[in-house]
Structure 1
Amino acid sequence: MINEIIKRNGVTFGVLSGIVSALITATIYAVDLNLFVSWWIGVVSILIYLVLGIVLLSKTKKEMNGLFVFKDAFTTYFISAVIGIAIGTAFNILLFNVIDPSAQDTLKEITIKNAVAMMQKFNSPAAAINEMIAKMKENNPYSVVELLKGSIFSMVFSAIIGLIMAAFFKSKSQE
């Protein structure tokens, strides 16, 4: 059975991170679709989620009176991550497959254009660039199936981050 503090904080911060994810996506969508392929947006997003995780684990450890074993720390973080990813993915599915499906094509064009520009910077051969373009045109990263696959990858990545953060935030042994 999961401790009530762990459950409450995990769910609360999970909903918070899901709302933050949806707001980031909605803001980027409203401002400029080109920002979806901007590397610095990805870095800022990861930093936001790391800060939320640190606040979550610090708050939970304090509420547990400093008795925060590795399993509890990981469970707290992972509950939050799964809920946040689920909310963010649901929002993306709704936005890109119900509200504005045409944004998928626009984003695919932007992604291809940026990938070609990067490959040209590295003097990639034209054949390699053409092959990459063909593969990218076959794939639709904003389809429901691809967004769900991406959420599974995000959960695995979050589990790894959660393991690292749990190791850092766990209580020191009293031996």
Structure 2
Amino acid sequence: MEKSIKSSSINYGLYLGLFLSTITVLFYAVNLEMLTKWWLGIILFLVILIFGIVSTAKSKSLLGGFISFKQAFSSYFITIAIGFILSTAVSVLLFNVIDPEAAEILKENVIEASRQMMENFGAPQSEIDKAIAEMADQNQFAIGNQLKSVAFQLIFYAVIGLIVALSMKKKDPNVA
């Protein structure tokens, strides 16, 4: 991977991590309950996707409009991975070191939101109780759980990255 596109991907990853971390810290400071809203997840999904696509497009531009599948995927994935790792580090620091009580409040909010959603979908009370008990036993902000979450998110976004790379690749006709 060329140094210029690698550097560009790293920069976009840092911007993404800074954006995600800022959202976490901002909602932590303003209204912790906002971090449990479903629409925030959709907005963040779209922002993450846009960062990955823009990073890939920038790399393609840096290469004169031609990019291989590998270069396109690498550009996308480096951006996403750095963004997630930085954001996760901030979350671990915030909810495990700085304010562990906030993690408990968030956990309670997530449990209540899940209960309401399951009731709205007409889930049987026994299933609701079982799901709530499982959530109550877990610490979603534990470092191990955060690392698992990052791994699953990276796999999910890597699949999307394969599609982005496939759509962005363009072979230089002057190269054999």
- TM-score band by shorter chain is over 0.9
Corresponding position of 2:107: 108
Contact (CA 8 Å) 1:6, 1:75: kept in 2 or not? no
Using the TM superposition, name which of 46-55 and 82-91 deviates more. 46-55
How far is the alpha carbon of 1:173 from its aligned partner?
A: 6.5
For residues 26-65 of structure 1, what are the structure 2 equivalents within 5 Å?
26-65=25-64
CA distance in 1, matches of 2:18, 2:127: 40
Is the aligned partner of 1:15 residue 2:14?
Answer: yes
Corresponding position of 1:73: 72
Using the TM superposition, name which of 144-153 and 51-60 deviates more. 51-60
**Aligned residues with identical type, % of pairs:** 38
Contact (CA 8 Å) 2:5, 2:62: kept in 1 or not? no
Amino acid at match of 2:9: G
Amino acid at match of 2:136: K
CA distance in 1, matches of 2:94, 2:148: 17
**Residue 28 of structure 1 aligns to a residue in which SS?**
helix
Corresponding position of 2:143: 144
How far is the alpha carbon of 1:172 from its aligned partner?
A: 4.9
User: Which sections of structure 1, spanning at least 5 residues, go unmatched?
Assistant: none
Amino acid at match of 1:63: L
CA distance in 2, matches of 1:169, 1:120: 43
CA distance in 1, matches of 2:127, 2:158: 35
How far is the alpha carbon of 1:117 from its aligned partner?
A: 1.0
Number of residue-to-residue matches in the alignment: 174
Q: CA RMSD in A?
A: 1.5
User: Which sections of structure 2, spanning at least 5 residues, go unmatched?
Assistant: none
Contact (CA 8 Å) 2:66, 2:172: kept in 1 or not? no
Q: Deviations over 1:53-105 (max 9, x none)?
A: 22212211111001201110001111111111110111111001011111111
CA distance in 2, matches of 1:80, 1:133: 35
Corresponding position of 2:158: 159
Over 3 Å off, 4+ runs: 172-175
TM-score of the two chains, using structure 2 as the length reference: 0.93
Corresponding position of 2:130: 131
Q: Deviations over 1:88-141 (max 9, x none)?
A: 111111001011111111111111111111122223222222111111111111
How far is the alpha carbon of 1:30 from its aligned partner?
A: 1.5
CA distance in 2, matches of 1:53, 1:127: 41
TM-score of the two chains, using structure 1 as the length reference: 0.93
